[in-house]
């Protein structure tokens, strides 16, 4: 992150990376989704949490397992999880040795009239695996997400929205705000062009507004955490079946939580 991005991430809890994907990457991702469109699972309207302002005529669509798809359709997503536009920025907030949380690379789709998602997370109550912290000139995040837009999101279209700055809140958020029934002017719907990406800390209060556009919303969501932290590991870690197909850089983030050795070039090590 440059100085402007660090400032905006610290103040708002998110940044938008314009043109993160090339035209070729964007086309490959949409082609892969088209090829596997029969795997989209449409949910009920439960994500609206009975809020009349978020409720729609249908639920959102979910698609997972993109890393397991046959070649060439899996390749764009395997490359996306360590995309050059993302790695250095993730290292800024998660540190070197960050890991993909639970091998989470999935897609969200919303067709016209789809329900929104009630606003969840926020700075309070504190969850150490998702918390946001600034100390001694550095950002320390828990779970951090990247939402890559495969289709345009214009003003009023709906989709991803958040309350900027809520990752540093000191009070729990009242339910009527979470349900988008009060202070709606404080909620910001993030506009983006296809190929743009939103990096946001999970502790930012976020959700989705009902989708109003004629075209389908398509968002690839990837979740990361610091190398020492995990939310979805229980028992013995087993690499996924496709592990041997990955490049060395891809394998580096498909890992169980692990202790990161200190810099061997530090004064502490030189004195020994």
CATH number at residue 204: 2.60.120.620
Taking the C-alpha atoms of residue 85 and residue 106, their distance in angstroms, rounded to an integer, is 19
As a whole-number percent, the residues of the chain with pLDDT over 90 amount to 79
Q: Is the pLDDT of residue 266 over 50?
A: no
Looking from the CA of 90 toward its CB, the CA atoms found within 13 Å total 26
Taking the C-alpha atoms of residue 140 and residue 131, their distance in angstroms, rounded to an integer, is 8
Enumerate the β-bridge partners of residue 145: 200, 223
Q: Which of 37, 85, 67 is nearest to 198 (CA)?
A: 85
Taking the C-alpha atoms of residue 72 and residue 267, their distance in angstroms, rounded to an integer, is 47
Q: Which of 193, 214, 198, 106 is nearest to 151 (CA)?
A: 193
Q: 31-60: per-residue pLDDT in tens? A: 999 999 999 999 998 999 999 999 999 999
**CB under 8 Å to 247, separation ≥6 — which residues?**
none
Q: 163-222: per-residue pLDDT in tens? A: 999 999 999 999 999 999 999 999 999 999 999 999 999 999 999 999 999 999 999 999
Per-residue confidence (pLDDT) for residue 237, from 0 to 100:
79
Q: 213-256: per-residue pLDDT in tens? A: 999 999 999 999 998 887 766 667 788 899 999 999 999 999 88
Q: Let me know how long the chain is.
A: 272
Give the structural domain span for 190. Answer: 3-270
208 in Cβ contact with 55 (< 8 Å)? no
Q: What's the pTM value of the predicted model, to 2 decimals?
A: 0.92
20 in Cβ contact with 144 (< 8 Å)? no
Q: How many domains does the chain have?
A: 1
């Amino acid at each position: 992150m440059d100085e402007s991005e660090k400032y905006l991430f610290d103040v708002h809890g998110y940044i938008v990376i314009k043109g993160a994907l090339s035209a070729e990457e964007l086309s490959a991702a949409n082609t892969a989704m088209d090829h596997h469109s029969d795997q989209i699972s449409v949910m009920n309207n439960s994500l609206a949490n009975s809020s009349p302002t978020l409720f729609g005529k249908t639920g959102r669509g979910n698609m997972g397992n993109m890393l397991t798809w046959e070649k060439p359709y899996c390749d764009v997503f395997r490359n996306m999880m360590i995309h050059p536009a993302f790695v250095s920025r993730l290292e800024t907030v998660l540190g070197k040795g960050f890991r993909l949380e639970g091998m989470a690379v999935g897609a969200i789709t919303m067709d016209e009239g789809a329900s929104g998602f009630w606003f969840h997370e926020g700075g309070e109550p504190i969850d150490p695996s998702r918390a946001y912290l600034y100390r001694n000139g550095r950002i320390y995040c828990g779970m951090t997400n990247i939402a890559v837009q495969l289709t345009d999101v214009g003003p009023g279209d709906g989709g991803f929205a958040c309350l900027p700055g809520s990752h540093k809140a000191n009070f729990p958020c009242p339910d009527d705000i979470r349900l988008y029934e009060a202070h709606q002017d404080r909620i910001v719907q993030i506009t983006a062009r296809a190929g743009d990406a939103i990096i946001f800390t999970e502790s930012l209060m976020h959700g989705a507004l009902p989708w109003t556009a004629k075209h389908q919303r398509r968002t690839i969501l990837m979740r990361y955490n610091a190398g020492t932290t995990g939310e979805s590991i229980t028992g013995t870690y087993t690499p996924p079946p496709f592990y041997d197909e990955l490049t060395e850089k891809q394998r580096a983030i498909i890992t169980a939580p692990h202790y990161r050795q200190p810099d061997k070039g530090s004064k502490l090590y030189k004195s020994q």
